[in-house]
């Protein structure tokens, strides 16, 4: 009964989404205030019904209602309760329900926080969000309804994939979907601006905080996914360039480009068309991601034929997004001005360079991900494209970008002086080179690429420090309070995010160059060394978990005879699939290194295969990721945007004049 109510609420939300996709847009077209105002209440209604629907599915999981097919396939009686709750998004249908729920939540957030938006603009944004929501709800209801019942009720469910029975998996999908779905809001702003024919600084200012927040969630989502893969898959990898990972990485790259392009649009009125294109592209890439993950088209080599309707549906959504946006653009874009001019050496031109590199990097990932599919579709044999390819094409693109990250924030808009910059930064440049040269030596082995990576990371950190110092020094005469006041949240946020990127670069350089991996055979009492640590096997015993049996090794780690840690890697046999053991690695984390131990097969007698890792600076990767996301939140919280909202009604009224000016620039 509860499941039927959930289904009913889902369908009601679908109907509300359709109304939301039509009424506010009609209102904005005809100038009907009442119709325009419906967007807000329809969004709230949608959220309420979807929340109910989601709660109903959660209840079905917690109550183990195996008459619901989705529950039967993704849960069982022995599953611990917290995983029953998270199992709701453990499969295709439920994760889609989470997706639409979050989409509705973003819609309500826009309605609540954008009270100061011009009514027509808000109506258009809500209308576009309604259309997006309609698309995803139609997909859920028509092809992937999580409330379908089974004719014959099984006594017990299958299980939640053991890989997903993990705390990292609790956080990863909601964060990632928050990011994906946030990009729908960015898209809605872009389409609303195109519809109104006014792509101006005000539009950029409205959509910028939303973009930043969505980007933060996407960053967290990708980061937590990587973190989860690192410790859960058991073999120490943190990024595999797998199509599913690339699906989340591509929109991240274009969203990063978008953040920077929006800065130019807001501050200087430039790159408007480019910014709009990026917003549309980012959203389209989130749909492409859904297509890659959910249609089975890329991973299908190894799958049972997935329901082809799903793929066709998502592909139609992708086609509608891209073709519709292009048509709208062809109709509206000619009215857009170019914005202010700038010299070849200016913040604008460097930000454009950053955008080019990010988008080219995204294109490279896109090519690598879809090339095998394209060859296959054309009947030109089957190939694999893996990490060696992506490393080879992606890394060279990132190096100049990292250099630009250091310079960009320090130089002026419109026109800067290269001589001035070189004077200002020559010491920083030299010190960065020295760090790049010396640090690898300190690690014991000098490699050119590692030196380059570390030098660039130092460059980013040092230039950020110089910029911060300069900004404070300008107010030296006005006292310490004023000096600190100069560090606005948006300024700090930017440098925090850049510093986070630098830490990630350090971690990648270090772990790629100095990771130690050893496969050893250990019987109780045996000792092996890796990365200067001694690992002594004390013994292997059986452990019983809530729904699995495990062999657990106890391994004592010492360094020069002094105890460091006791690690307990497991080899788990889940009741639901006892013949496919899972490796539960055991880690000892310190700021400059992780020790990571995985238990492999049992060999003859009481000897076991054990894989030992010494992973330098892994910790910096996760800290760096958090800093990037936190920096974004900080920037989005800048008071400027709130003031902008208070003032924005005024801006709106002034706007015809403003458009006139930018058009004038174009002509003049």
Partner 1 sequence: MTGKALQAYLHDRLHAPGYRTLVLAGLFLAAVVLASPVAALPMGKPVDFETQEQEAQYQKLVRELRCTVCQSETIHESNAALAGDMRRRVYEMTAAGASEQEIIDFLVQRYGDYVRYRPAFQANTVLLWTSPFLILFAGGMVWLQVVRQRQRLVLRQELSAEERAALEQFRRGE
Partner 2 sequence: MLRRIAFPLVGVLVILGLLYVGLGIDSRALPSPLVGKPAPAFQLESFYDPEEIVTEADFIGEVALVNVWASWCSSCRSEKPYLMELARQGVTIHGFNYRDTRADARRYLSAEMNPYDKIAFDPNGEAGMEWGVYATPETYVLDAGGTIRYKHIGPLTPRIIREEVLPLIEKLEAENR
Whether the CB-CB separation of 450 and 384 falls below 8 Å is answered with no
Q: Which of residues 124-143 bind partner 1 (CB under 8 A)?
A: none
Q: Name which of partner 1, partner 2, none residue 562 binds, using a CB cut-off of 5 to 8 Å depending on partner kind.
A: none
Q: Where are the beta strands (DSSP E) in 287-412?
A: none
Q: Name which of partner 1, partner 2, none residue 244 binds, using a CB cut-off of 5 to 8 Å depending on partner kind.
A: partner 1
- Count, in order, helices (H) and strands (E) of the chain: 19, 10
Closer residue to partner 2, CB minimum distance, 74 or 295 = 295
Q: Distance between CA atoms of 648 and 272, rounded to whole angstroms?
A: 19
Does residue 329 belong to the site contacting partner 2 (CB under 8 A)? yes
Q: Name which of partner 1, partner 2, none residue 664 binds, using a CB cut-off of 5 to 8 Å depending on partner kind.
A: none
Strand, coil or helix: what is 543? strand
Whether the CB-CB separation of 488 and 635 falls below 8 Å is answered with no
Does residue 609 belong to the site contacting partner 1 (CB under 8 A)? yes
Identified binder of partner 1 from the candidate list 19, 41, 424, 577, rule CB under 8 A:
577
Number of Cβ atoms within 10 Å of the Cβ of 519:
11
Identified binder of partner 1 from the candidate list 363, 395, 412, 472, rule CB under 8 A:
363
Q: Which of residues 203-232 bind partner 1 (CB under 8 A)?
A: 225, 228-229
Whether the CB-CB separation of 458 and 432 falls below 8 Å is answered with yes
Does residue 111 belong to the site contacting partner 1 (CB under 8 A)? no
Q: Name which of partner 2, partner 1, none residue 334 binds, using a CB cut-off of 5 to 8 Å depending on partner kind.
A: partner 2
Instruction: List the end-to-end C-alpha distance of the chain, in Å, as a whole number.
Output: 68
Closer residue to partner 1, CB minimum distance, 169 or 651 = 169
Burial of 351 (0-12, 13-18, 19+ CB in 10 A): buried
Q: Where are the beta strands (DSSP E) in 11-59?
A: none
Closer residue to partner 1, CB minimum distance, 159 or 200 = 159
Q: Distance between CA atoms of 18 and 14, rounded to whole angstroms?
A: 6
Residue 668 token pair: 């003049």
Query: Minimal distance in Å, beta carbon 603 to partner 2?
Result: 18
The interface mask with partner 1, positions 251-290, x = CB under 8 A, is -------------------x--------------------
Does residue 300 belong to the site contacting partner 2 (CB under 8 A)? yes
Closer residue to partner 2, CB minimum distance, 77 or 319 = 319
Length in residues, the chain: 668
Closer residue to partner 2, CB minimum distance, 261 or 570 = 261
List all residues 6 or more positions away from 415 whose beta carbon is below 8 Å from its beta carbon. Answer: 342, 343, 345, 346
In angstroms, what CA-CA distances link 33 with 29, 38, 110, 197? 10, 9, 18, 20
Q: Name which of partner 1, partner 2, none residue 22 binds, using a CB cut-off of 5 to 8 Å depending on partner kind.
A: none
Identified binder of partner 2 from the candidate list 156, 197, 331, 434, rule CB under 8 A:
331
From the list 373, 215, 206, the residue with the least C-alpha distance to 288 is 373
Q: Distance between CA atoms of 619 and 503, rounded to whole angstroms?
A: 9
Closer residue to partner 1, CB minimum distance, 245 or 534 = 245
Q: Where are the alpha helices (DSSP H) in 478-617?
A: 480-485, 489-514
From the list 62, 87, 91, 100, the residue with the least C-alpha distance to 166 is 87
The interface mask with partner 2, positions 258-297, x = CB under 8 A, is ---------------------------------x---x-x
Does residue 383 belong to the site contacting partner 1 (CB under 8 A)? yes
Q: Which of residues 228-257 bind partner 2 (CB under 8 A)?
A: none
Query: Minimal distance in Å, beta carbon 385 to partner 2?
Result: 15
Q: What are phi and psi of 234, to 5 degrees?
A: 85, -5
- Interface with partner 2 (CB under 8 A), residue total 32
The interface mask with partner 1, positions 514-553, x = CB under 8 A, is -----xxx--------------------------------
Q: Which of residues 86-145 bind partner 2 (CB under 8 A)?
A: none
Identified binder of partner 1 from the candidate list 448, 542, 601, 657, rule CB under 8 A:
601
Q: What are phi and psi of 562, to 5 degrees?
A: -90, 135
Whether the CB-CB separation of 589 and 558 falls below 8 Å is answered with no
Closer residue to partner 2, CB minimum distance, 153 or 367 = 367
Q: Which of residues 378-397 bind partner 2 (CB under 8 A)?
A: 378, 381-382
Closer residue to partner 1, CB minimum distance, 191 or 288 = 288
Query: Minimal distance in Å, beta carbon 586 to partner 1?
Result: 15
Q: Which of residues 342-371 bind partner 2 (CB under 8 A)?
A: 370
From the list 54, 50, 14, 22, the residue with the least C-alpha distance to 38 is 22
List all residues 6 or more positions away from 638 whose beta carbon is below 8 Å from its beta carbon. Answer: 209, 488, 489, 490, 493
In angstroms, what CA-CA distances link 402 with 24, 63, 173, 350, 502? 44, 51, 29, 12, 8
Q: Name which of partner 1, partner 2, none residue 19 binds, using a CB cut-off of 5 to 8 Å depending on partner kind.
A: none
Q: Which of residues 88-107 bind partner 1 (CB under 8 A)?
A: 89-92, 95
Q: Distance between CA atoms of 214 and 183, rounded to whole angstroms?
A: 6
* Cross-strand pairs, 586: 597
List all residues 6 or more positions away from 590 whose beta carbon is below 8 Å from its beta carbon. Answer: 619
Q: Which of residues 452-511 bind partner 1 (CB under 8 A)?
A: none
> ∠ at Cα 472 (470, 476), nearest 5°?
110
- Radius of gyration for the chain, computed over Cα atoms and rounded to the nearest angstrom: 27
Identified binder of partner 2 from the candidate list 1, 34, 152, 302, rule CB under 8 A:
302
Query: Minimal distance in Å, beta carbon 315 to partner 1?
Result: 16
Q: Distance between CA atoms of 497 and 212, rounded to whole angstroms?
A: 11
Query: Minimal distance in Å, beta carbon 539 to partner 1?
Result: 19
- Interface with partner 1 (CB under 8 A), residue total 88
Q: Which of residues 392-431 bind partner 1 (CB under 8 A)?
A: 393, 397, 414-415
Q: Which residues of 7-29 are buried (b: 16+ CB within 10 A; e: fewer)?
A: bebbbbbbebbbbbbbbbbebbe
Query: Minimal distance in Å, beta carbon 308 to partner 2?
Result: 6
State the DSSP H helix or E strand holding residue 596, giving kind and residue range, or none if neither: strand 593-602
Identified binder of partner 1 from the candidate list 36, 57, 137, 169, rule CB under 8 A:
169
Q: Name which of partner 2, partner 1, none residue 311 binds, using a CB cut-off of 5 to 8 Å depending on partner kind.
A: partner 2
Q: Which of residues 307-326 bind partner 2 (CB under 8 A)?
A: 308, 311-312, 315, 318-319, 322-323, 326
Does residue 344 belong to the site contacting partner 1 (CB under 8 A)? yes
Footprint on this chain of partner 2 (rule: CB under 8 A)? 291, 295, 297-298, 300-303, 305, 308, 311-312, 315, 318-319, 322-323, 326-327, 329-331, 333-334, 370, 373-374, 376-378, 381-382
């Amino acid at each position: 009964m509860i499941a039927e109510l959930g289904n009913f609420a889902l369908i009601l939300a679908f109907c509300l989404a359709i109304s939301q996709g039509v009424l506010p847009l009609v209102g904005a077209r005809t100038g009907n205030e009442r119709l325009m105002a419906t967007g807000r209440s329809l969004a709230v209604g949608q959220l309420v019904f979807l929340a109910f629907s989601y709660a109903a599915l959660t209840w079905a999981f917690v109550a183990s209602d195996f008459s619901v097919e989705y529950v039967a396939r993704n849960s069982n009686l022995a599953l611990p309760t917290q995983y029953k709750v998270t199992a709701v998004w453990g499969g295709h249908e439920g994760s889609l329900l989470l997706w639409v729920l979050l989409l509705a939540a973003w819609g309500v957030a826009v309605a609540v926080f954008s009270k100061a938006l011009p009514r027509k603009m808000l109506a258009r944004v809500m209308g576009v969000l309604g259309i997006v929501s309609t698309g995803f709800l139609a997909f859920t209801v028509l092809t992937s309804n999580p409330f379908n019942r089974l004719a014959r009720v099984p006594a017990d469910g299958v299980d939640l994939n053991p890989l997903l029975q993990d705390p990292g998996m609790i956080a990863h999908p909601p964060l990632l979907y928050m990011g994906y779905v946030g990009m729908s809001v960015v898209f809605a702003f872009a389409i609303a601006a195109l519809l109104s024919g006014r792509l101006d600084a005000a539009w950029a200012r409205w959509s910028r905080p939303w973009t930043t927040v969505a980007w933060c969630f996407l960053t967290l989502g990708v980061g937590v996914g990587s973190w989860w893969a690192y410790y859960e898959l058991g073999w120490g990898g943190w990024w595999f360039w797998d199509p599913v990972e690339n699906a989340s990485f591509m929109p991240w790259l274009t969203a990063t480009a978008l953040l920077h392009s929006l800065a130019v649009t807001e501050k200087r009125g430039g790159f408007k068309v480019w910014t709009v294109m990026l917003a549309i592209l980012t959203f389209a890439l989130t749909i492409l991601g859904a297509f890659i993950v959910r249609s089975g088209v890329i991973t299908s080599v190894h799958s049972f034929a997935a329901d082809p309707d799903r793929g066709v549906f998502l592909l139609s959504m992708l086609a509608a997004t891209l073709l519709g946006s292009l048509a709208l653009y062809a109709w509206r874009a000619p009215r857009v001005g170019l914005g202010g001019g700038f010299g070849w050496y200016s913040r604008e031109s460097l930000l454009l360079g950053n955008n080019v590199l990010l988008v080219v990097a995204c294109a490279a990932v896109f090519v690598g991900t879809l090339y095998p599919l394209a060859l296959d579709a054309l009947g030109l044999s089957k190939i694999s494209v893996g990490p060696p390819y992506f490393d080879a094409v992606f890394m060279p693109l990132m190096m100049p970008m990292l250099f630009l990250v250091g310079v960009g924030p320090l130089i002026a808009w419109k026109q800067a002086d290269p001589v001035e910059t070189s004077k200002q930064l020559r010491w920083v440049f030299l010190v960065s080179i020295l760090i790049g040269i010396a640090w690898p030596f300190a690690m014991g082995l000098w490699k050119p690429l590692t030196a380059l990576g570390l030098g660039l990371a130092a460059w980013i950190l040092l230039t950020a420090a110089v910029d911060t110092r300069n900004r404070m020094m300008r107010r030296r005469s006005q006292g310490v309070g004023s000096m600190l006041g100069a560090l606005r949240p948006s300024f700090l946020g930017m440098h925090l995010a850049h510093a986070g990127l630098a830490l990630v670069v350090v971690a990648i350089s270090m772990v790629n160059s100095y990771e130690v991996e050893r496969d050893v055979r250990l019987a109780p009492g045996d000792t092996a060394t890796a990365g200067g640590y001694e690992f002594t096997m004390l013994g292997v015993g059986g452990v019983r978990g809530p729904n699995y049996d495990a062999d657990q090794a106890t391994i004592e780690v010492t360094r020069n005879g002094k105890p460091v840690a006791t690690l307990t890697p497991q080899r788990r046999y889940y009741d639901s699939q006892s013949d496919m053991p899972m490796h539960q690695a055991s880690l000892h984390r310190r700021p400059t290194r992780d020790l990571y131990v995985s238990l492999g097969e049992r060999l003859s007698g009481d000897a076991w295969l054990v894989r030992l890792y010494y992973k330098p600076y892994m910790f910096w990767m996760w800290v760096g990721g958090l800093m990037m996301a936190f920096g974004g939140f900080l920037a989005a919280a800048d008071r400027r945007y709130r003031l902008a909202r208070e003032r924005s009604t005024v801006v709106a009224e002034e706007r015809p004049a403003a458009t006139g000016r930018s058009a004038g620039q174009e002509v003049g």
